[in-house]
Amino acid sequence: MSIIEEAVRKSAEKRHRLGTAEPLHGRARVRRPATAPIDISAARSYRHVTLDPSLLEQNRVLPRIIDQSALRAYKILRTRVLRRLEANQWRTFAVSGVTAGEGKTLTAINLAIAMSQDVNTLVFLVDLDLQRPRVASYLGITGLGGETGLSDYLLGEATIDSIIYSPNIERLAVIPNFQPVAQSSELLSSPRMLDLMHTLETETPKRVIILDMPPVLASDDVLAFSPQLDGLLLVVGEGATSRDSLRSAKEVLAEMNLLGVVLNRSAERDDSAYYSYGQPTKG
């Protein structure tokens, strides 16, 4: 049985426990109980930052994407990932690539925003690419004065509350990183990083935690941090990711839960290509 088939089976079993079944053309239809939208007034507010719509459009960041094919792809990706998370009772996953330049950072950002557009989903987006941080520049959380980010916290120079930002996007909170740091895998295994993850995981209301991480073949960061992850979403670039690199990545990820594979930079515009979108992306 494949990973996807197993997830579907578990999801169906859970829905059956939560709902009631009625015959439908010889099969059971499961009715899920109605879920009230999360009361976002109960969610904490962090350092407020207003994102520049023109910069978001320039960087092809939701909700400023014009390409309808890309918008559909992100919504489908969001729904499929949310279902997989629910089926396994997971909340924390990394978005990574095989090698540099495949679009994993923009995928992580847009997936986080797409998830936050669901009224029942609150999201933490964390820039955990300590060697090449890009989330802040994509969103424009730079040059505001007095910014502190993840590396400042890990080096003992900032508190947790001072590195979490609330942009003008409901249900989304962002932990950016402004400075690359050496010995990244050691910092990812440090007590301060574990304390941060514990804080994020115990936040109420519960949030999905999305971590933008380095490519799996670029460093040992993903492997070092894998005990803290429920799963990983892998981004590959059409025409950019070689078969040999994919084989090597498969070996590295053999012991991890793979949420799925996002095909990026695809020229295919067919709506049936669930995880594909044709708009080129940055790294």
Residue 111's CATH number: 3.40.50.300
Question: Could you report the per-residue pLDDT of 88-105, keeping only the tens digit for each?
Answer: 999 999 999 998 888 899
40 belongs to a structural domain: no
Same domain, 49 and 6: no
Q: Tell me what the mean pLDDT of segment 16-37 comes to.
A: 46
Please determine, for residue 35, whether its predicted confidence score (pLDDT) is greater than 60: no
Phi-psi domain of 22 (left: phi exceeds 0; alpha: psi -120 through 50; beta: other): beta
Phi and psi, residue 79, nearest 5°: -65, -40
What residue has token string 């003008």?
168
Question: Is the same domain home to 144 and 103?
Answer: yes
Q: Which residue range forms the structural domain that includes residue 141?
A: 45-264
pTM of the model: 0.81
**Structural contact between residues 148 and 177, judged by C-beta atoms closer than 8 angstroms:** no
Tally of domains in the chain: 2
Does residue 39 fall inside a structural domain? no
Instruction: Answer for the pair 175, 125: CB distance below 8 angstroms, yes or no.
Output: yes
